[in-house]
Amino acid sequence: MSEISAKKTSNLGKILLKKSRNEVQYFGLINQGATCYLNAVLQSLFMTQEFRDSVESYDKAPEDCGEDLLRQLQKLFKQLSVNVATTKGITTSLGIGNVYEQQDAVEYYRKILKAVGRRVSEVFEGKMNNITKCISCDNINKKTSSFISILLPIEDENNEQHTVEKSLKAFFKRLRLDQDDWMYCDRCDQKTPTETWSEIDEYPTVLTFHLKRFAFDYNQIRYVKNSCALDVPLSLDIKNQTFNLYAVINHNGGYSGGHYDALIKSDQNQKWYSFDDRTVTERSGDLAETPDESPIKVPLDNSVCQMCKCIFPFHSSRLPYMLMYRKGTIHLRILLLGPPGTEKSSVGNLILGENYFPLFTIKESMGKTVGNVTVVDTPNLFTLTPMSWAKELKRCIMLSHPGPNAILWVVPLSQFSNHQQGLFHNIRKRLGSETQKHTMIIFTSGRELENLDQPIDISRHNKVKKVVRTCRNRYHVINSSNHNQASELIEQLFKMIAKNRGSYCTFKRTKKRRP
């Protein structure tokens, strides 16, 4: 990776770049004295399109919000869209009396979101389950609460290098409490050995973390900053949810003072910018020189950490304090299964909107991606040897990487027979039980079902009813020559994926131990 020192700019934050026919232009915020903490937070909120839309679109303030702050945010965002802006209206509305006293960025991030109300800030709000378990009787208590940011611990001693992944594992780790901290169990009617942990119940659109950089040092009898180096990944996979980094608020200095700035990725041109009060600088692919000589690599040319082979926008930096990740778009990855002559390939073409798959039997699986939908068509799997079967499954995984999240078993309803039922159960057995929650039956009959609306009556078809029940009663009737039916099917598939919390099939069957 070529490393270029960041050039100083004196254009009061103006950066003008051209993308196709559109111009993307960002502006800075005036520092009133020591309000860099507020500027970094406001720029991050402004660059969160979902939040900006909520602020700009409201007419009447919700009951749970401070109308004055919302009005001031509207004025600020309007001004910030065309020129360098002042935050005087915001500081007045928030009750910040001394603008020369530095405050904590996380504290004012929380204050702003709480003040504007849940309807405006819902893009940042998730649900967290805090769970306690009695080890004596396995009794579990669960309390659900909302959150707008998660505090990540930095537990490495001696300021050693740390990673966001380590912090996440530490946060979600199950802990056994010391005896002095045992909790009361209703079932045991006494304090018992207790295990506690947390888990995210509902993920927000924007997942915000703040690092435990500041803590009280009992040896020094004062608060100190933990300045350990941190690796921040471009994306995170948490419980089958993918989140992509788009904003980092940095703090350079110690507990008693320092300076805040923000590095934010534009959703208009996918480039990164440094927001440092008045100054806004495009930072894609450069190396920024920082006062503490800890360089921030703002990649974004896919530079790879040689130690762990992960892609990092910030490798071994001591500055990140707040991280904002946006939930990634769900990618629909469909695997088509079914015997020959079932219009399987036609269903794939219907979903993609064009004739990508041939209507004759193919020799090996083939895939096609259009937008956020990938479809993999399969050959006649029923004639394959075990070795060829395993090879074909690996190919299906490769074409739908990391694996299909929807399996469509295509079969004509009028031709459903004992043979069809046997083929279905044979394939299901070979793929493994994990596929049940990902499978939907697609009934095709062309003209025969052209004028038939769902739901169809399958109660008279015992064989069909058993197969549908195996797939948790998920089925869809489709006429492969009617292109208007694709959107309804895709909508059903996305609902199924959401219910499965984004999980997917790997076709790895659990091997039973021999006695």
Question: What phi and psi, each to the nearest 5 degrees, are found at residue 122?
Answer: -60, -20
Rounded Cα distance, 226 and 36, in Å? 20
Q: Is the pLDDT of residue 95 over 50?
A: yes
DSSP 377: E
Per-residue model confidence as pLDDT tens digits over 349-359: 989 988 999 88
Question: What phi and psi, each to the nearest 5 degrees, are found at residue 510?
Answer: -75, 125
Alpha helix stretches (DSSP H) within 47-150: 49-57, 67-80, 88-94, 105-116, 118-121
Given the structure tokens 């193919």, which residue do they identify?
A: 362
Q: What is the pLDDT of residue 12?
A: 27
Task: Dig out the tokens for 89 from the structure.
Answer: 């209206």
DSSP 254: -
Q: What is the pLDDT of residue 473?
A: 80
Could you give the 3-state DSSP secondary structure of residue 394? helix
Whole-model pTM: value is: 0.61
DSSP 271: -
Q: Cis omega before residue 402 (within 30°)?
A: yes
- Host H or E run for residue 8: none
Task: Dig out the tokens for 46 from the structure.
Answer: 């402004």
Per-residue model confidence as pLDDT tens digits over 44-84: 999 999 999 989 887 765 555 567 899 999 999 999 999 99
Q: What is the pLDDT of residue 459?
A: 56
DSSP 149: -
The answer to whether 210 and 322 have CB atoms below 8 angstroms apart is yes
- Average the pLDDT over 240-245 and give the result: 79
Q: What is the pLDDT of residue 289?
A: 34
Query: Could you give the C-alpha distances from 233 to 94, 105, 137, 160, 362, in angstroms and in order?
Result: 33, 22, 40, 18, 40
Nearest to 241 by CA among 126, 70, 361, 74: 126
Question: Which of 330-334, 406-410, 437-441, 511-515 has the weakest average pLDDT?
Answer: 511-515
Rounded Cα distance, 171 and 152, in Å? 6
Interior/surface letters 480-502, b for 16+ CB within 10 angstroms, e for the rest:
beeeebbeebeeebbebbeeeeb
- Average the pLDDT over 200-207 and give the result: 91
pLDDT band at 481 (very low <50, low <70, confident <90, very high): low
Domains assigned to the chain: 15-327 (3.90.70.10), 332-499 (3.40.50.300)
Query: Could you give the C-alpha distances from 119 to 122, 340, 361, in angstroms and in order?
Result: 6, 51, 52
Given the structure tokens 């990391």, which residue do they identify?
A: 402
DSSP 108-121: HHHHHHHHH-HHHH
